[in-house]
Chains A and B, each alone.
Chain A
């Protein structure tokens, strides 16, 4: 199980840039100031990218910790953390 936890770290690290790539390409494809759907509004895409970019960086760090085996032993109680 410890090995699974560690190797899955690679998946989480790779998942983060994949999400950002998907969001960026969707934004580029749909932003159009001439159309009025919410999907064409650049402000909304800027907000979404601004919100999700730090979160995906967090996911990468989570993956990195997992790969390093940081989650192989979790604190037994709140004093431990």
Chain B
């Protein structure tokens, strides 16, 4: 009874802190648009460059360095104090980002300060996960390591969930202008972080050091140079490489595709409205999160390898059909073309502005209308420029919807219709929730067992260092770059809107092959070396 209570306390203390770190990390990404206008105005090239670095450096470059710095500390001085330090650094820097004055107030100092704080966030995140996973695993009894560490695995998703929830709660309770103001609502999620961190630090301070590490320390068997022992010794380094290429890089891309790329695809490619794209993610994550625990538990029974490999293989097979369904079900252009079941919802709003330059008169016609197609709504917007030729001219409906022989002639046709704010019908909405849930399930398959898998690969004295580096290269670099490489591929090959998926599919396929061939499914019952 006492043991069971203790392990629950260990899991709670580790999980809450890790969840807060993820919360801190996500709110920056989710508020990126507002943050860029406050701190990184595109009109200043230096600020724009700093913006790129803030996004990339913290997410992808610094995290593996954080893994090295804090992993080494964790193997030298202990798990407890190291992941206490990462928590304070993370929470402190998040709170301070919320206090940095805008670019308008202090100029280039603003983006520089934000970049510095963002780098600290990335470093701290790189050190946190390995500590929490190791700490829980070293408390867990044999045969329950997968289940207990899977609680840590839920934190990244819960952090995302809480971040989404807090931002939506703030945003829905004030007008946009108030939310986006210099000292407006967008800063609240940053300030809230400090309260969460104080609570978590209090809980963690009450915890004891990991029993395995404490014993090593008492016996004087801790590593004197964890970095050298982890990466300078072939016997261990080959396992670091195997962990990266045979498990973690695939896990990283599956995770980011299911929980990040999916949201950006729904919002930017399918043009779903803000609220629906986010609530779809929230429901899918809520329904999916218990499966982290299920697959962690299952991995204790049947081994870690095949659950993770199955998740990767299913990702390779299912991603294109799932994303194609998203596209087909929101294909507004096809609905317009077919012209059936389309109902105009309310009146068209038409606005006209005239511009006179020298002898030329230009008339800009903007029309906005809301349509329904089988109970799915969308907005159509036209911006056209009409030139005066002949004796009269027609300005309504706008030029882009006029037939070629309508009599009106333009000297410049500036835009074709733009469709946005797609509001799915209830049936389609739940279908999308289900499809995203399938992707979250794949995330739980690859992510649920991985902490136990990594812990069992490395000996206690260099465990923190050895498991942190491949984890953060796999997640930070391979996973973190999914949305960006997706965007690059879409820009390079414009004809295929699904081309961005080839990156996660390719990486997951490679990882599946390497993992299937080289990894063992054996569970290490005893990690008390």
**Which residues on A are within 8 Å of B, measured CB to CB?**
1, 4-5, 8, 12, 26, 30, 37-39, 41, 43-44, 47-48, 50-52, 55, 58-59, 61-62, 65-66, 70-71, 74-79, 81
Could you tell me the distance between the alpha carbons of A78 and B520 in the complex, rounded to whole angstroms? 13
Q: Which residue of A lies closest to B249 (CB)?
A: A55
| Interface residue B477 (Cβ < 8 Å from any Cβ of A) | yes
Instruction: Give Cα A51 to B478, complex, Å.
Output: 10
Q: Is there an interface contact between B61 and A55, defined as CB atoms closer than 8 Å? A: no
Question: Does B241 lie within 8 Å of A55, measured CB to CB?
Answer: no
Q: Are B526 and A77 in contact (CB under 8 A)?
A: yes
CB pair B520–A51 under 8 Å, yes or no, is no
A9 to B365, CA, bound (A): 63
Bound-state Cα–Cα, A35 to B70, Å: 40
Bound CA–CA A30/B489 (angstroms): 12
A-B contacts, 27 listed (Cβ < 8 Å): A26-B492, A37-B491, A38-B484, A38-B487, A38-B491, A39-B488, A44-B56, A48-B481, A50-B61, A51-B477, A52-B477, A59-B245, A61-B237, A62-B238, A65-B238, A70-B234, A71-B238, A71-B242, A74-B239, A74-B520, A77-B529, A78-B456, A78-B460, A78-B527, A78-B529, A79-B459, A81-B459
A40's closest neighbor in chain B, by CB?
B491
Interface string of B447-469 (1 = CB under 8 A from A): 00000000111111001000000
The complex places the Cα of A52 from the Cα of B56 at a distance, in Å, of: 13
B458 A78 Cβ-Cβ under 8 A: yes
Query: A residues within 8 A CB of B520?
Result: 74
Contact check, B488 vs A38: say whether CB atoms are below 8 A apart: yes
Q: Is the CB of B52 within 8 A of A44?
A: yes
Which residues from chain B sit less than 8 Å from chain A, CB to CB? 49, 52-53, 56, 60-61, 234-239, 241-242, 244-245, 455-460, 463, 473, 477, 481, 484, 487-488, 491-492, 514, 517-520, 522, 524-527, 529
Secondary structure call for the A interface: helix
A62: chain B residues at CB < 8 Å are 238, 241-242, 245
Return the contact of B524 from the options A8, A55, A77 (Cβ within 8 A). A77
CB distance from A1 to the nearest CB of B (A): 8
* Known contacts A37-B491, A75-B239, A77-B526, then 17 further A-B pairs from the complex at CB < 8 Å, ordered by chain A residue: A12-B245, A39-B491, A47-B52, A61-B237, A62-B241, A62-B242, A70-B234, A71-B242, A74-B518, A74-B519, A77-B456, A78-B458, A78-B459, A78-B463, A79-B529, A81-B235, A81-B459
CB neighbours (8 Å) of B456 from chain A are: 77-78
Assess the B52–A41 pair: CB atoms within 8 A: yes
The residue in chain A whose Cβ has the minimal distance to the Cβ of B236 is A81
Given known contacts A47-B56, A70-B238, A81-B457, is B529 in contact with A39 (CB within 8 Å)?
no
Query: Given the complex, which residues of B lie within 8 Å of A79, measured CB to CB?
Result: 459, 526, 529
Tell me the complex Cα distance, A26–B488, Å. 10
B49, B244, B455, B529: the one contacting A58 at CB < 8 Å is B244
Residue among A37, A39, A66, A77 with max Cβ neighbours from chain B (10 Å): A77
> Among the listed B235, B517, B522, which residue makes an inter-chain contact with A5, where contact means beta carbons less than 8 Å apart?
B517
Contacts of B526 in A (CB 8 A): 77, 79
What's the minimum C-beta distance from A14 to chain B, rounded to whole angstroms? 13
CA separation between A48 and B241, bound complex, in Å?
20
Contact of B518 among A39, A66, A78 (CB under 8 A): A66
- In the assembled complex, the CB of A76 is this many whole angstroms from the nearest CB of chain B, namely 7
For B527, give the chain A residue with the smallest CB separation.
A78
With A37-B491, A39-B492, A78-B458 as given contacts, are A65 and B477 in contact (CB-CB < 8 Å)? no
| Chain A residue with Cβ nearest B524 | A77
* CB pair B61 A51 closer than 8 Å: yes
A37 neighbours in B (Cβ, 8 Å): 491
For the complex formed, measure the closest distance between the CB of A32 and the CB atoms of chain B, giving whole angstroms: 12
Query: Shortest Cβ distance from B504 into chain A, in angstroms?
Result: 15
Residue in contact with B61 in the complex, picked from A8, A39, A47, CB distance below 8 Å = A47
CB neighbours of B492 from chain A (8 A): 26, 30, 39
Chain B residues, Cβ within 8 Å of A8: 517
A59 contacts which chain B residues (CB < 8 A)? 245
- Of chain B, the residue at the smallest CB distance from A50 is B61
Q: Chain A contacts of B56 at CB under 8 A?
A: 44, 47
Q: Judge whether B49 and A43 touch: CB under 8 Å.
A: yes
Closest Cβ neighbor of B522 among chain A residues: A76
Cα distance A44–B491 when bound, in Å? Answer: 14
CB distance from B89 to the nearest CB of A (A): 23
Give the residue name and chain of the A residue nearest to B459 (CB): A78
Q: Are A55 and B473 in contact (CB under 8 A)?
A: yes
B467 to chain A, nearest CB (A): 10
Q: Are A4 and B517 in contact (CB under 8 A)?
A: yes
List the A side residues contacting B488 at CB < 8 Å.
Answer: 38-39
Whether A78 pairs with B524 at a CB distance below 8 angstroms is: yes
CB distance from A25 to the nearest CB of B (A): 12
A71 and B234 CA atoms in complex are apart in Å by 12
Chain B nearest CB from A80 CB (Å) reads: 8
Which residues of B sit under 8 angstroms from A43, Cβ to Cβ?
A: 49, 52-53
Chain B residues within an 8 Å CB radius of A77: 456, 524-527, 529
Complex: A59 Cα to B492 Cα, angstroms: 26
